């Protein structure tokens, strides 16, 4: 240092906590795990933990109020001796097949209708979503009043139109009518999901393809069959996949409308598992019933994903 000059010693400032956090968040190796960790915690607490607990209970003779012991797959084998479970197994596939099939047909038709130039188009699209956004229990409670045997608005309408004989069917008290009722409510609730998703696929189809097909002399049916449907297969496969999972594991609609009755004719895996596991206290058997959903859904999902991949390639 030169004589007469003033030396100023400056200490290097330590970075603040805020700056250090900002530096960490700028790194991809830290930012990704931070964003993913809340979802991972929820999956572990709400999906993984209940699933492994169900596995544990399903191979035990767990009963409310007494210690449990390991019994292997005896619960799974014993269920096939139950008429209620065999009926439930059949109900699940009938319910899922009828509901998803109807939603495919009606969903495509509704999406095509919403894709047209309509008055108040945005308001109509918003109204279509109402069955999907209304809480399931509340909407199903309204349907239970509509299907009530004493003051059913469905029967009143049918009698007024002359398509029913008085006093009208007991919708929730007869076997086949009860299954029809729960399928109708499931279709009503799941149809907006099909329609809006397929509408997004329709909007993405270039109009030039329709103009070229029309110039070649293709009519409305030919344009739908050779232009619309092939380009919608990928979206349709994904929608059917999700709808199958939601429908196969349905609980609220059946529980509120029929509680699985009459005579177990509308029981699904979820409702029967609740009845056996919670109402009768046989937790092991209830867990085994709920786990029958897993292999059944695996087969369905595998088949549908294979179909989607074929359409993609």
Tell me the CATH class for 90-268+295-312.
mainly alpha
First to last CA, the chain: 76
Q: Residue 162 carries which DSSP code?
A: T
188 pLDDT band, cuts 50/70/90, is very high
Structure-token match 């993984």, residue found? 48
pLDDT per residue over 114-161, tens digit each?
Answer: 888 778 777 887 888 888 888 888 888 889 988 987 778 888 888 888
**pLDDT (tens digit per residue) in 226-264:** 888 888 888 888 888 888 888 988 899 999 999 888 888
Predicted confidence (pLDDT) per residue in 53-112, tens digit: 988 998 888 888 788 888 888 888 888 988 999 999 999 999 999 999 999 999 999 988
User: Which residue, among 285, 303, 3, has the nearest Cα to 275 in the 3D structure?
Assistant: 285
The structural domains of the chain, with segments of one domain joined by +, span: 90-268+295-312
Which CA distances in Å does 255 have to 93, 240, 291?
Answer: 17, 24, 19
Q: 162 — alpha (psi -120 to 50), left (phi > 0) or beta?
A: left
pLDDT at 180: 93
pTM for this predicted structure: 0.82
- pLDDT digit string, tens, across residues 256-286: 999 888 888 999 999 999 999 888 888 889 9
Task: Report which secondary-structure segment, H or E, holds 107.
Answer: helix 83-114
Higher pLDDT, 92 or 293: 92
- With beta carbons less than 8 A apart as the criterion, state whether 299 and 81 touch: no
**Angle, helix 49-58 to helix 283-291, in steps of 10 degrees:** 120
CA 172, CA 181: separation in Å to the nearest integer?
Answer: 7
The pLDDT assigned to 12 comes to 54
The pLDDT-based confidence of 302 (bands split at 50, 70, 90) is confident
Q: Cβ of 107: how many Cβ atoms within 10 Å?
A: 26
Whole-number average pLDDT of the chain? 84
Contact present, 88 and 267 (Cβ < 8 Å) = yes
Q: Which of 10-19, 168-177, 261-270 has the lowest mean pLDDT?
A: 10-19
């Amino acid at each position: 240092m030169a004589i007469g000059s003033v030396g100023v010693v400056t200490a290097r400032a330590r970075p603040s906590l805020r700056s250090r956090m900002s530096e960490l968040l700028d790194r991809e190796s830290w930012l990704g795990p931070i964003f993913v960790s809340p979802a991972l915690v929820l999956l572990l607490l709400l999906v993984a933990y209940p699933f492994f607990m169900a596995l544990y209970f399903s191979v035990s003779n767990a009963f409310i109020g007494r210690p449990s012991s390991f019994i292997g797959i005896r619960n799974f084998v014993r269920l096939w001796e139950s008429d209620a479970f065999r009926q439930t197994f059949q109900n699940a596939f009938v319910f899922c097949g009828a509901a998803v099939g109807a939603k495919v047909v009606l969903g495509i038709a509704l999406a095509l209708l919403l894709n047209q130039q309509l008055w108040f188009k945005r308001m109509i699209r918003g109204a279509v979503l109402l069955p999907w956004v209304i809480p399931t229990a509340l909407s199903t409670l309204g349907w239970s009043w509509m299907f009530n045997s004493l003051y059913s608005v469905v029967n009143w309408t049918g009698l007024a139109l002359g398509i029913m004989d008085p006093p009208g069917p007991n919708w929730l008290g007869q076997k086949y009518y009860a299954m029809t009722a729960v399928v109708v409510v499931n279709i009503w609730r799941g149809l907006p999901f099909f329609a809006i998703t397929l509408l997004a696929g329709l909007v993405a189809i270039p109009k030039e393809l329709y103009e070229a097909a029309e110039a070649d002399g293709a009519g409305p049916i030919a344009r739908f069959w050779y232009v619309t449907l092939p380009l919608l297969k990928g979206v349709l496969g994904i929608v059917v996949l999700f709808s199958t999972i939601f429908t196969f594991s349905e609980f609220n609609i059946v529980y509120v409308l029929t509680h699985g009755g009459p005579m177990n004719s509308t029981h699904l895996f979820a409702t029967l598992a609740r009845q056996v596991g919670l109402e009768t206290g046989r937790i092991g058997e209830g867990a085994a019933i709920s786990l029958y959903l897993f292999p059944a859904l695996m087969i369905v999902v595998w088949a549908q994903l294979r179909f989607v991949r074929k359409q993609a390639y």
